[in-house]
Amino acid sequence: MANCAIVGVNWGDEGKGRMVDLLTQEYDVVVRYQGGGNAGHTVINEHGQFALHLLPSGIFRQGVVNILGNGVALDPENLWLEMQDVMDKGVSLTPDNLKISSRASLLLPWHRLLDELEEARLADKKYGSTRQGIAPFYADKYQKKTVLAGELLYPEKLRAHLADLLAWKNLTIAGVYGAVPITMEEIDAWLESCCERIKPYICDTGAFLRQAQKAGKRILFEAQLGSLRDLDYGIHPYTTSSNTLAAYAPIGAGLPSAKIDRIVGVVKAYSTCVGEGPFVCELSGAEADKLRQAGFEYGAKTGRPRRVGPIDLVATRYGAEVQAATEIALTKLDVLSYMDRIPVCTAYRIGSEKTSLFPFPAALEDAAPVIDYMDGWKCDISGVRKWEDLPRAAQEYVLFIEKAIGCPITYVSVGPERDSIIIRKQENA
């Protein structure tokens, strides 16, 4: 069985978690390969509803090994809280089904503080950070000023390393921002309360993955956020600080030799965005409120109301292309059932020019959406499980998107539960 990556095509919050949860029945290993606790993957199953921020979404499948790869911003405090929540609801977590890369860098206590201080300094020019310390973490990682998870297994060397880093970082905390420096006593307390509990899960996950590959195991790579938040290809500077693309998965997972044959790009049936930055097709007022309420569009991590709008085919086509998506999972089609006419952004207008190409980030502020309309279906489709049972108008909407982005839509979700899915690949085979 080919390896697979599940990735976001737009601004994040597309429904990747529910797709990973669904598809893990076909795979042996699930790997989170980038990002940290700044985003949430919502999963609903027999155990309840979960907003996973660090744990891979395959954690609920028996027999599946879940890995936090070296590319992850590993926050020991939030990870342990998340693990506790999952275990409290009857899910077993052991070193057999959850493994943490010894080469993953730790998100340290000062990273979250520095994130908050910088967002406060930026005021109305802020980038829309979730204040989870992600940008300071990755900045330090590329300066080689972080601590690897494996160092927790060498406590004497670790403490000396942390003391050196703390002295350096306090120069910024106190000297640049005028904030109260962090003490070594606070760091010791953090090590004891948060880090000790995750030590049994730390191992050489690269060696494990290489062995799994040799044994023919099926590996699923899980991304965080989406194409338009990618550090290199997104709406700079309103991006995350890691690479969200499938091409990065083998590196961030710890298996550089992996070949990914299947890339499932997840697209929401309309557009949503959490955070700052240009959002060409954004709705406002009562129209936005109605769509937001219909889809319960609030950030899984922040609780912030998501910005909403019609599906943006310009951005979606671009996002699918940079992900090299081989197929698309279209989520939340059922949310649009209340609409008489469904708006679709088919192009942008920049000045007197009309374009279907996604522009350079600096030009996005000047772009206006070109909106067309399609007929709505005005009925509840949440119980539909077969393509042929969808109303004709709903089928036409899906087919229009498929043709516009040039990538087959093989899954259509009509609800958040595992079975609320229409599988089209058999019909189209």
> Catalytic site residues?
13, 41
Report the 10 Å Cβ neighbour count for 337: 18
Token pair in block for residue 97: 């089904």
Beta strand segments in 107-217, E = 202-203
Q: How crowded is residue 48: how many other Cβ atoms within 10 Å of its Cβ?
A: 13
| Backbone dihedral region for residue 406 (phi beyond 0: left; psi -120 to 50: alpha; all else: beta) | left
Q: How far is CA 142 from CA 147, 164, 254, 256, 327, in A?
A: 12, 17, 17, 19, 33
By C-alpha distance, which of 196, 203, 207, 4 is closest to 96? 203
Partners of 342 in the beta sheet?
374
Alpha carbon 309 to chain centroid, angstroms:
19
Q: Helices in 327-416 by DSSP H: which ranges?
A: 361-364, 392-405
- Distance between CA atoms of 363 and 281, rounded to whole angstroms? 14
Give the integer Cα–Cα distance in Å for 74 and 76. 6
On whether the CB atoms of residues 137 and 144 are closer than 8 A, the answer is no
Q: Are 244 and 289 in contact (CB under 8 A)?
A: no
Q: Which two tokens stand for residue 310?
A: 């019609």
SS3 for 394? helix
Q: Please tell me the distance from the alpha carbon of residue 191 to that of residue 408, in angstroms, as a whole number.
A: 48
Amino acid 426 reads: Q
Pair 179, 141: CB distance under 8 Å: no
195: left (phi over 0), alpha (psi -120 to 50) or beta: alpha
Provide the token pair at 60: 């609920």
d(CA 281, CA 336): 16
